[in-house]
A and B are shown apart, each in its own frame.
Chain A
Amino acid sequence: ETGVTQSPTHLIKTRGQQVTLRCSSQSGHNTVSWYQQALGQGPQFIFQYYREEENGRGNFPPRFSGLQFPNYSSELNVNALELDDSALYLCASSLWGQAYNEQFFGPGTRLTVL
């Protein structure tokens, strides 16, 4: 069984740029959720993807967008980067319909916006 993987591990961008983060689901999982974790805070839900469609969204502006591919991997895209976007971005996969919706987390991508 392969766990959740994310790439890259670290990324440095400048304000106004665009960034794409990638996530591969755990084997057998079909749902992907993305979280933003600022320093000293808990993870904040960005959105969830199931069957290649956004299935729920937190309080994030439209410049945060995502994709899910037929193999259940996913991308998080952030346009017009702001300094406050600097954070750890976590991806979590789960199996839709699984009792209690246990989510399995990746190691995260550390994004720094200068």
Chain B
Amino acid sequence: AQRVTQPEKLLSVFKGAPVELKCNYSYSGSPELFWYVQYSRQRLQLLLRHISRESIKGFTADLNKGETSFHLKKPFAQEEDSAMYYCALLGSNYKLTFGKGTLLTVNP
């Protein structure tokens, strides 16, 4: 079975502060992990994927297989980062499993 856990339902930080959104997963195979984001009144969209090792909008995420984690980080949060963030795992049966999401609010 594959499972994604996002322990924080809500996260509130001030502009300029570092932010870390936690994601832990359970999967017996080699995971492909993603972060999706949904801004207010917009559709769900891909933010980044672990295999690319890319930085999008200042966000990075490192896959830690030992801790089975894929936390999303940004050193200096901006107000426009306020959104719902979902961690997702792609399993071998093409099934994309999402966590319950974390609502990030960046206060001015």
Q: Which residue of B4, B44, B52, B94 contacts A100 across the interface (Cβ within 8 Å)?
A: B52
Knowing A41-B100, A100-B32 touch, does A105 contact B95 (C-beta < 8 A)? no
Q: Is B46 an interface residue (CB 8 A)?
A: yes
A41 to B96, CA, bound (A): 14
A105 in complex: contacting residue of B6, B32, B34, B44, CB < 8 Å: B44
Q: Is the CB of A42 within 8 A of B99?
A: yes
- Nearest-neighbor residue (CB-CB) of B44 within chain A: A105
Inter-subunit contact A48/B94 (CB<8 Å): yes
Known contacts A42-B86, A56-B93; A102/B46 CB under 8 A: yes
Q: State how many residues of chain A have any CB contact under 8 Å with chain B.
A: 26
The listed residue (A41, A42, A55) touching B94 by CB distance below 8 A is A55
Q: How far is the CB of A81 from chain B (nearest CB, A)?
A: 23
A100, B100: Cβ atoms closer than 8 Å: no
Q: Give the distance in Å from the alpha carbon of A56 to the alpha carbon of B93 in the complex.
A: 6
B56 near A: Cβ within 8 Å? no
**A102 to B101, Cβ gap below 8 A?**
no
User: Which residue of B is nearest A56, CB measured?
Assistant: B94
Chain B residues near A4: list those with CB within 8 A. Answer: 43
What separation, in Å, do the CA atoms of A43 and B87 have in the docked complex? 11
Residue of B nearest to A42 (CB): B98
A65 to B26, CA, bound (A): 28
Find B43's partner among A42, A48, A56, A106 (CB 8 Å cutoff).
Answer: A106
- The answer to whether B101 touches A42, judged by C-beta atoms less than 8 angstroms apart, is yes
Q: Knowing A42-B101, A90-B44, A101-B32, say if A33 contacts B49 (CB, 8 Å).
A: no
| B-chain residues with CB within 8 Å of residue A56 when the two chains form the complex | 93-95
CB atoms of A105 and B43 under 8 A apart: yes
- CB neighbours (8 Å) of B94 from chain A are 33, 48, 55-56, 101
Interface residues of A (CB under 8 A from B): 4, 33, 35, 40-45, 48, 55-58, 90, 92, 99-108
Selected A-B contacts with CB under 8 Å, 5 pairs = A43-B98, A45-B96, A92-B44, A102-B49, A103-B46
**Which 10 A-B residue pairs are closest in the complex by CB-CB distance?**
A42-B98, A56-B94, A105-B44, A56-B93, A45-B95, A42-B100, A43-B98, A100-B49, A105-B43, A48-B94
